[in-house]
Structure 1
Amino acid sequence: MNNRKKSRKFIFTILTISVIAIILIPMLYSSIYLSAFWDTYGNIGNVPVAFVNMDKSVSKDGKTYNIGKEVEDKLEDNDKVKWNFVSYEEAKNGVEGKDYFAMIVIPSDFSKKLADSNDGKFDKPEVIYEGNKGKNYVFYQISEKVAQSIKSDVTSKIQEETSKALVDKLYNIKTSLNDAADGANKLQDGTQILANGSQDLSNGMFSALEGSILLKDGLKEATNGEKALSNGTDSLLGGLNQLKDGLSQKNSEIGKLVSGASETASGAKKVSDGANLAYTKTSEAKTQLSEKSNYVADKIAGVSDGVSNVDDLLASIIADYNANGGKLSDKASKELMAAKNVTKAIRDKDINTNIVEPLRTSADGLNPLIDSLYRLQGGAALVESGTAKVAYGTNKLASGIDESMNKAVEGTNRLIGGATELKNGSSKLYNGLNTATEKTGQLSNGLSKLNNGAVALNNGLDTANDGATKLKDGLNNGYNEINDKLKFTSDDMSKFISEPVALNENTLNDVKYYGEGLAPYFISLSLWLGGMFINLLLSIAKGLKITENKYAKSFIGKYSIGLAIAIVQALLLSFVLVEGLKIDTVNTSYFYLNNILISVVFFSMMYGVSYAIGIVGTPIIFIIFLLQLASSGGTFPIETAPKFFRIIGEYLPFTYSIGMLRMTIGGINSSVYLENFGILLTFMGAFLVVGFIIRAIINTLKNTKTINMFKKNIGFKGLEENM
């Protein structure tokens, strides 16, 4: 009897220790695991990762690129992981060994490729990431995101630099367009002045042409007059010879001789004056033509230089704009091309060859005419001198005819000599007048061509002026258009391109730590394990017949004992999480009550199964436990699981207990919370009622012969006793 009491006391002691252990199981399981990984991401800064900077700095267009160094400097203040700045060999050996979990490498040509991208050489720079996935898969995923973050930072830097360079070039194009517009304004002013000058030149050429025609007509009349002079001289010589032969008989004709000599002297004087006038006017015409040709040459040279400058400027603007991916409006493009065609037309006219050279040639062509007129002037002077001598001789003859016949003969001889000189001068005058008439005709033809060229020049300059006006308007419109559109600075654009979208992050149901995120899953898991051990303990106590108390052996009695243990488990678990790990909940009271509810529901479900079929229900409960591990979405979203687990998860309690716990930690959605609450109560009621009914059916069947035979044949009796 004493041994039996001692045995029962020992068993009771063991059960008491077991109860205490079972009460502690959920708390220990959750607290130990969650405390180990409570702030995992907050401690990743202790995980070693190698960083290798092999990049070489590059200087280009007055700017230095050293991206690798910039990244390295930035990572020195980065505590996401434990950065180790080492050589490539050390990093490689460390990743393959045990020193580093991963390594990130910036290659030697990284900055060079970035600098070359501004010239259109788009060879993508690389950030090399190499991680030891086998060492720790979870950290591999984290470190890979760190590498992606570095890539994003560098990408943002590249976008910032590229967009800044592009906008700076756009501003250069804007400045060039403004300069071109100013140049076009000056060009248009110059072409307008040149057009006005060409009109004056055309008018002057027309006047010179008219003057040359008048000169030609005057020379023709002079030639005709010279013929009359030559005939008169011949008559004079004949008369003088007759005078010499019969002076004594021709006294009556001396008066006529004196009169003819006077008229001859007067005509010679007119011829000499006409020759002097022709020489003077022709010399003035040559001087004017030379001055006009030099004036035109200077203006045309200015036009040619302006056209070349504008042509080069237009080509540069179009090339720069196309090189930077820009596109002018259709109107601006047409006006630029029209201006380019105008400048080409002006160059094709070859104004210097077609206008200036004929002007200078015409001016030089006057030289023979001037020489002939000079000789004509000399001949006319000789004629004037001879006629003067003739007149003088006739006068002497008339005054001295009474004195002496000898003197008359002498005077007649002198008169014959003067008439001979007059004849010779007349011949020279005739030849000079013929030459002058011929050259004047050539001058008229040259001036006519020159006048046509001046008209063509004027028309061409009017066209050039129209084109310069269109060019001016087009460039001004282009400048105004780009000035209206270009309202941002390169810094503003680079900042916008590097970060075009701002993330306004609003967190719903915030969770601070990694452990808080896993807590709902491990609390449910811990309380389920606690419920399993409670049911196992009750089954063992029943088999050992620890007590004979009817209430303790009844359905309600055993349920009450298990329920009390389950509640203590939940309270102890909640206390350690709240006071020990400082879990942040929406409401601490809700958190305690929620855990108590879950613990009660889980135990009730297991008690229903255990009451119905006894200890055989333990494997079933464990299988349900395993299914819930994969179908509850406790770690990863349930949408990532296979379809089978997504379906059965809707019919298992973990799904709803985890949902309620997440809301008590992150934020409560009342309707969803109450829905989960109702489903858990349904699970509890269904398992208790169904378990009670099954047990009642089994107890009823025990009284039949069929059950007795079944117990005898398959040994169901022992199983029943355990139940």
Structure 2
Amino acid sequence: MTTTSLVRAELARLTATPLARLAFIALMCVPLLYGGAYLWANRDPYAKLDQVPAAIVDQDAGATLDGDRVDYGKDVAKEAIDGGDFKWTETSAADARSGVRNGTYDFVVTIPHDFSAALVSAQSDDPRRAKLTVTTADTNSYLASTIAEQAGKTMRTAVAERVGKQAAKSLLVGLADVRDSLGDAVDGAGQLASGATSAKDGADRLADGTGQLSSGASELAAGTEDLPSQTAQLDSGAQQVATGASKLASGLSDAQRQTAALPSQTKQLDTGAKQLQSGLHQLRDASAALPSGTSTLSEGATAVADGNAKLADDAAPFLASVQQLAAQSPALASQLEPVVEASTVLDADQKAQLVAALEQLRTSSTTLGTGASAVSTGIEDLKTGSAKVAAGASDLAAKAPALTSGIQQASDGSDRLAAGTSTLAAKAPELSSGIASAADGASTLSNGASQVAAGTSKLAAAAPTLSSGASRLATGAASADDGAKSLASGLTKLESGSTKLADELDEGRTKIPSSTASSREAQASVISDPVKVGDDNVASAGNYGAGLAPFFISLAAWIGMYALFLILKPISKRAITAVRKPLRVVLGGWLTPALLGVVQMVALFLIVRFALDLNVVQAGPTIGIMVLASATFAAIIMALNVLLGSVGQFLGLVLMLVQLVTAGGTFPWQTLPGPLAALHFALPMTYSVDAIRQTMYGGSAATAWSDTGILLCWLLGALLVSYVVTARQTRSRTLRDLRPSLIG
């Protein structure tokens, strides 16, 4: 007997009678009914939440915001009803509460009377949170209560977004106004900094000036400390100047009288000098006849020497007086000129006249002194020459060359004498006039000196007051200097601070972004709802039914195998006795439910994909894993039956229940208690659920292959257990093997 014949024989047994065929068909449909009906009922429940009855109670009294009337409760109620997420009914509080109790409404959302007032309180001194009350009753549906909580959170988020957007918009408008105001503040701070800079420069100059003032005032105080004694000395000196000026005026008057006859005398002197010059020229011309006129020349020379000596003696006192007058006049003019300039009693014209007279006196005296010196030199030369002529007249015959030389010297001296006397004659009128002007100026100077003396007496009397005032000025100037330095220091800090203020204000202004009405609208939207949850599902189920499909497909495969083994024999006892080939017997016993499982899984896949229209990304791999899971479950249940008989069949039911809670088909396996979480990794349905998810949703192929490998291990392990037990039975039987099954 072959494996194929064993399969045909078992199928023939199942369809031998009409009742057997009916039972066979019914059991084949069990997994289809279980999986298809459950997935149909839970295909997409969230799409029909608009059929869930809910009530909304609006008790909001409204509020005032920025002078405008707002009623957020009314807006929330309207948005909820218009949204149509649930079957909303707006009603009273009493009707809503009774409706929740009797099942008319699954839940109620109540908006309290102070809802708007609480929302706008964020801008007041007493901010508080607004409140939405969700009333539920788990007697209606626990999931309805859970959904109600989510609905309340959704409404809260919507309200928070609206209020946050309005608050953010107000904030952004305020920031825009602040930015504009900061621009004006920056300009003002810049002007302040510029003014502070100018003020600082002025304060620095003021400090420098007050420093100089303080120094000068100190020097003035130190200088005027001795002013009283100095002015006393000045008064004494002025008195002496006045006396000296009187004496000068008197002396100049005498000099004027003495020099009155000077022009005529100098003219006579000039005439005599010219005559002498002419005579010497004639003498020089006549020296050619010197040898013949030696005696005559000797007598004439003696006479000339006597005359020249007398002339020198007569002119010496006069020339000495002239030179003394010329020497004293510039010094006297120099002494008088500062006095005239410093006089406070003379007017400008008088000072100018006196200064001009003194200058003329100085110039005339210089010229007079020069002329007198020239005359004196000429006379001396003439006297010397004539003496030489007289001395050498006796020796003239023997010393003619020497006499000629002496005559030449005498001639030269007479030339200088003539020049000097001419200059003296020319300057004598000017000297006389200058002395006269000096006499007049000296008289005026005497009068002015008297007035200066009177002024210096008053100055000496006022000097103590001036000295005291200078001391007070020095003290005040020092205080002013300290104040100016403090002002300069303060203005330096003001300049630095105002510059820093301008910079900081400008930096702060740049940190506030410029905005327009449209950009503020967009910014307010982002601020009120800053986080958007993006949908980046790398493997999407599509809906709630598709999310549960892998779990219920795996569960249907187990139930289908469990139901089939109610009518299928795990192994043929006759085959064990007749064939005595355990591998063939085991494969024949396993292939029958495995083939029937293929039919079940293909039919279930068609229902899931086309009847329920659930999305399947990889149809072929999904069918393959469904078939593999069914064949694996068939091998496990067969092994339990072969090993334990009817007890093993019961354990198959227990194992299904354990896997129902450990496979992680509804909630994540991480939420399981510790022992059940350990079983999650040990049992096969975990891997069938995970593998179907990967292929159905388009997940990881590597994970699907890993899950497939584990299912194959379970399949081979279960077949190995069946083979070991069957092999033992082919060799010997026990009383337990012959004991009838509890199930039949």
* CA contact 1:180–1:475 (8 Å) conserved in 2: no
**Identical amino acids, percent of aligned pairs:** 22
- Counterpart of 1:718 in 2: which secondary structure? coil
Distance 2:204 2:644 in 1: 121
Deviates more, 1:668-677 or 1:637-646: 668-677
One-letter amino acid of the structure 2 residue matched with residue 636 of structure 1 = F
Gap change, CA 1:99 and 1:183, over 3 Å in 2 = farther
Say whether the 8 Å CA contact 1:191–1:468 is kept in structure 2. no
Amino acid at match of 2:26: A
* Residue correspondence of structure 1 range 217-236 to structure 2 within 5 A: none
- Of 478, 488, 498, the residue aligned with 2:528 is 498
Matched, 1:690 2:721: yes
Which residue pairs with 2:616 in the alignment?
585
Deviation at 1:584, TM superposition (A): 1.0
Q: Is the 8 A contact 1:610 1:617 kept in 2?
A: yes
Q: Does 1:171 align with 2:179?
A: yes
Alignment match of 2:498 (pick from 464, 467, 472)? 472
- Offset of residue 63 of structure 1: 5.8
Inter-CA distance 191–133: structure 2 relative to 1 (3 Å threshold):
farther
- What letter corresponds to residue 116 of structure 2 in structure 1? S
Contact 1:52 1:105 in 2 (8 A): yes
Judge conservation of contact 1:639–1:646 (CA < 8 Å) in 2.
Answer: yes
Residue in structure 1 matched with residue 543 of structure 2 by the alignment: 513
Instruction: Quote the offset at 1:635 in angstroms.
Output: 0.7
Q: Which letter does structure 2 place at the counterpart of 1:524?
A: S
1:643 aligns with 2:705: no
In structure 2, how many angstroms separate the alpha carbons of the residues matched to 1:9 and 1:183? Answer: 107
Aligned amino acid, residue 687 of structure 1: A
Aligned position for 2:461: none
* Equivalent residue runs for 1:204-353 within 5 Å: none
Instruction: Write the letter of the residue equivalent to 1:44.
Output: L
Structure 1 pair 469–531 and aligned structure 2 pair: CA distance change class (3 A): same
Partner SS for 2:617? coil
Q: From 14, 17, 21, give the equivalent of 1:16.
A: 21
Distance 1:469 1:557, change over 3 A: closer
Asked if 1:181 corresponds to 2:189, the answer is yes
Give 1:37's match in structure 2, choosing from 38, 42, 51: 42
Counterpart contact for 2:106–2:140, Cα < 8 Å: yes
Asked if 1 retains the 8 angstrom alpha-carbon contact of 2:635 and 2:718, the reply is yes
SS at match of 2:109: strand
**Hey, what's the Cα distance between the residues in 2 that align with 1:443 and 1:51?**
97
SS at match of 2:552: helix
SS of the counterpart of 1:616? Answer: helix
Contact persistence 2:571–2:589 (CA under 8 A):
no
Deviation at 1:627, TM superposition (A): 0.7
Q: Is the 8 A contact 2:115 2:130 kept in 1?
A: yes
- Contact residue 71 and residue 116 of structure 2 kept, 8 A: yes
TM-score by length of 2: 0.55
CA distance in 2, matches of 1:68, 1:568: 59
Contact 2:691 2:707 (8 Å CA) reproduced: yes
Equivalent residue for 1:679? 710
Question: 1:664-711 deviations in whole A, cap 9, x for unaligned?
Answer: 210142222122112222222222231232244346443x7xx4xx79
Cα distance change of structure 1 residues 455 and 108 upon mapping to structure 2, 3 Å threshold: farther
Q: Distance in 1 between matches of 2:65 and 2:195?
A: 37
Q: Check conservation: 1:198, 1:457, Cα contact below 8 A.
A: no
Q: If you compute each CA radius of gyration, which structure gives the higher value, 1 or 2?
A: 2
1:538 aligns with 2:560: no
* In the alignment, structure 1 residue 483 sits paired with structure 2 residue 509: yes
State the distance in 2 between where 1:584 and 1:619 align.
36
Deviations 1:167-214 (CA, angstroms, capped at 9, x unpaired): 425437625633752673697599689979999x999x99xxx9xx9x
TM-score calculated relative to the size of structure 1 = 0.57
What stretches of structure 1 move > 6 A for 4+ residues in a row?
A: 8-11, 189-199, 439-461, 540-545, 548-551
Query: Structure 1 residue 68 and structure 2 residue 73: aligned?
Result: yes
Shift of 1:470: 4.2
Structure 2 distance, partners of 1:493, 1:85, is 34
Cα distance in 2, alignment partners of residues 150 and 678 from structure 1: 48
Distance 1:12 1:606 in 2: 26
* C-alpha distance in structure 2 between counterparts of 1:668 and 1:463, whole Å: 77
* Equivalent position of 1:614 in the other structure: 645
Q: Which amino acid aligns with 2:566?
A: L
Q: Secondary structure at the match of 1:537?
A: coil
Q: Is the 8 A contact 2:210 2:481 kept in 1?
A: yes
Q: Which amino acid aligns with 1:599?
A: S
Q: Which moved more, 1:620-629 or 1:58-67?
A: 58-67
Structure 1 counterpart of 2:603: 572
Give the distance between the partners of 2:200 and 2:593, measured in 1 at CA: 111
Specify the code of the residue in structure 1 equivalent to 2:25. Answer: I
Q: Is the Cα–Cα contact under 8 Å of residues 187 and 468 in structure 1 kept in the other structure?
A: no
> Does the 8 Å CA contact 1:56/1:111 hold for their aligned counterparts?
yes
Aligned partner of residue 652 in structure 2, secondary structure: helix
Q: Following TM superposition, by how much is the alpha carbon of 1:639 offset from its aligned partner in structure 2, in angstroms?
A: 0.9
**How many Å separate the matches in 2 of 1:627 and 1:85?**
47
The letter of the residue matching 2:602 is L
1:33 positional shift: 1.2
1:139 to 141, 144, 160: 144
Name the CA distance, whole Å, in 2 between partners of 1:195 and 1:562.
110
Instruction: Find the aligned partners of 2:510 and 2:667 in 1 and give their Cα distance.
Output: 53
Q: How does 1:454-469 map to 2 (within 5 A)?
A: 465-466=491-492, 468-469=494-495
> How big is the shift at 1:477?
1.8
Q: Give the secondary-structure state (helix, strand or coil) at the position aligned to 1:608.
A: helix
Choose from 89, 108, 119 the match for 2:113: 108
Cα distance, 1:555 vs. partner? 5.2
CA-to-partner distance for each residue in 1:132-152, whole Å, 9 max, x for gaps? 234222232233222222323
Please list every run of 5 or more consecutive structure 1 residues that lacks an aligned counterpart in the other structure. 1-7, 218-438
One-letter amino acid matched to 1:152? T
- 8 A Cα contact 2:111 2:133, kept in partner: yes
1:529 matched to which residue of 2? Answer: 559
CA distance in 2, matches of 1:116, 1:444: 73
Worse-matched range after superposition: 553-562 or 658-667? 553-562
